[in-house]
């Protein structure tokens, strides 16, 4: 089954309808450079099919989920960060600042990073 959302920018990239700097592609996923990189390596991996976010993943998407993680390794290798280290991030929902509603993994590397990853706003839920 193929899922395509004509309003979704990442569906358009996957279909080749708008350009992106591709790093890797197979029948399940596409990896391309982020338009606004936050590190020397900043690549997005998306499934070819439209899945809005991690929260919408189902058992039927097991192959896609695995393919995204395997592609992260390929991207790390291709961008030269396999040994220096890299972070794989799925933003999911408002608190994480997910801005594109088509599931994507950020592969970030090429610089040392901090932890924890939330230096910005401090809004805690369920507390005063």
Q: Which residues are marked as active site?
A: 104
CA–CA distance, 13 with 22 (Å, rounded to integer): 9
DSSP strands (E only) in 1-128: 22-25, 29-33, 41-47, 86-89, 105-109
Closest contact distance (angstroms) between CB of 51 and Zn ion is 8
Burial of 97 (0-12, 13-18, 19+ CB in 10 A): exposed
Identify what 102 binds: Zn ion, ligand AMP, none; CB under 5 to 8 Å per kind: Zn ion
Q: Toward ligand AMP, which CB reaches closer, 2 or 99?
A: 99
Q: Toward ligand AMP, which CB reaches closer, 44 or 81?
A: 44
Residues that bind ligand AMP (CB under 6 A): 9, 20, 34-36, 44, 91, 97-100
């Amino acid at each position: 089954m193929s899922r395509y959302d004509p309003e979704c920018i990442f569906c358009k990239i996957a279909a080749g309808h708008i350009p992106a700097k591709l790093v890797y592609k197979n029948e399940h996923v596409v990896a391309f450079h982020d338009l606004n990189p936050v590190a020397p390596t900043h690549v997005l991996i998306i499934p070819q099919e439209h899945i809005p976010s991690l929260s919408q993943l189902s058992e039927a998407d097991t192959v896609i989920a695995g393919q995204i993680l395997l592609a992260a390794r390929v991207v790390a290798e291709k961008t030269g960060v396999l040994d220096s280290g890299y972070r794989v991030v799925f933003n999911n929902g408002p608190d994480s600042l997910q801005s594109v509603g088509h599931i994507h993994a950020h592969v970030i590397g090429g610089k040392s990073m901090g932890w924890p990853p939330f230096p910005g706003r401090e809004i805690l839920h369920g507390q005063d």
